[in-house]
């Protein structure tokens, strides 16, 4: 899938190709250096140890593609991604994640990332994703692609009358039971920023503006429909 506007892609073509890694993981550094040396020899490259360093130094370097593990400890997930996209407006961000669960891959894409790699990424996959993203395409390593396909399958299978996914329905029920966003994140093993993103989608789909309106919606058809006679096991 090709994304982005023609102005951004023309701007990327007008400047030298440059890829930057934002990561404190020494193994990720080694794979990145090997990839840029052997498979991206025509690209300039930089390594930043954290998003703060990237926001200070990358604007002058003007990277074409930025690889970052937004879920690394201390990086604040989607908040980190948002700050990087705001501070580096022309850069195309690829999530370089240690996790391969759907939240780690799908939510950053919804927040504007252009691709995803899952550690440990093969140099061939890393180089392919970087080149594809630089040309305006969305691109994924095989592990991320598989997780994305599974997510899309679950979306189809888990739709309710209001269009909530299984995860959104789970969060809606916890919220209705009085759980706070932080508690929901701890119980489901996801960040508070991720919970906020899900809640925004839930409220929009249900057409509500506060949690006080949630009980009526839950009582009016959010429970999965009962199986019709003759469709179940005999």
Domain spans, the chain: 6-144, 158-219
What are the tokens at 141?
A: 């390593």
**CA-CA distance, 63 to 48, in Å (whole number)?**
12
pLDDT digits (tens, 9 = 90+) for 105-127: 888 888 889 999 999 899 999 99
Give the percent of the chain with pLDDT over 90.
Answer: 38
Rank 88-97, 120-129, 191-200, 224-233 by mean pLDDT and report only the highest.
120-129
pLDDT digits (tens, 9 = 90+) for 42-85: 999 999 998 889 889 999 999 999 999 887 777 666 777 888 88
Question: How sure is the predictor about 225, in pLDDT bands with cuts at 50, 70 and 90?
Answer: very low
The model's pTM is 0.64
Using the structure block, give the residue that is written with the tokens 């989607």.
Answer: 78
Residue 135 confidence (pLDDT): 93
Residue 226 confidence (pLDDT): 35
Peptide bond into 60 cis (omega under 30): no
Residues in a beta bridge with 65: 19, 92
Question: How sure is the predictor about 7, in pLDDT bands with cuts at 50, 70 and 90?
Answer: very low
Please work out, in degrees rounded to the nearest 5, the angle formed at the alpha carbon of residue 189 by the alpha carbons of 87 and 26. Answer: 55
Given a cut of 90, whether residue 167 has pLDDT beyond it is: no
Fold classified for 158-219: Arc Repressor Mutant, subunit A (1.10.10)
Question: How sure is the predictor about 152, in pLDDT bands with cuts at 50, 70 and 90?
Answer: confident
What are the tokens at 187?
A: 């119980």
pLDDT digits (tens, 9 = 90+) for 128-151: 999 999 999 999 999 999 888 888
List the one residue out of 103, 61, 82 whose CA is nearest residue 116: 103
Of 177-181, 194-198, 230-234, the poorest mean pLDDT is in 230-234
Using the structure block, give the residue that is written with the tokens 């990839």.
Answer: 35
List the one residue out of 223, 50, 225, 19 whose CA is nearest residue 134: 19
Given a cut of 70, whether residue 230 has pLDDT beyond it is: no
Distance in Å from the first CA to the final CA of the chain: 44
Residue 112 confidence (pLDDT): 86
What are the tokens at 166?
A: 């299984």
Task: State the CATH class of domain 6-144.
Answer: alpha beta
């Amino acid at each position: 899938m090709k994304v982005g506007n023609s102005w951004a892609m023309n701007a990327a073509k007008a400047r030298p190709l440059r890829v930057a890694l934002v990561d404190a993981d020494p193994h990720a550094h080694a794979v990145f250096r090997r990839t840029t040396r052997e498979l991206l020899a025509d690209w300039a490259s930089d390594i930043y140890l954290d998003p703060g360093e990237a926001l200070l130094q990358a604007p002058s370097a003007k990277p074409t593609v930025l690889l970052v593990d937004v879920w690394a400890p201390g990086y604040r997930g989607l908040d980190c991604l948002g700050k990087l996209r705001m501070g580096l407006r022309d850069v195309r961000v690829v999530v370089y994640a240690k996790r391969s669960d759907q939240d780690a891959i799908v939510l950053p894409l919804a927040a504007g990332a252009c691709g995803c790699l899952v550690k440990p990424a093969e140099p061939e996959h890393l180089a392919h994703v970087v080149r594809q993203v630089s040309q305006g395409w969305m691109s994924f390593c095989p592990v991320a692609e598989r997780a994305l396909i599974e997510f899309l399958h679950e979306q189809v299978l888990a739709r309710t009358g209001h269009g909530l996914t299984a995860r959104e329905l789970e969060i809606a029920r916890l919220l209705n039971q009085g759980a706070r966003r932080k508690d929901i994140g701890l119980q489901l093993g996801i960040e508070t920023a991720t919970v906020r993103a899900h809640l925004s989608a839930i409220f929009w789909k249900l057409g509500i503006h506060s949690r006080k309106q949630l009980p009526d919606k839950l009582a009016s058809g959010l429970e999965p429909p009962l199986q019709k006679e003759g469709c179940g096991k005999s």
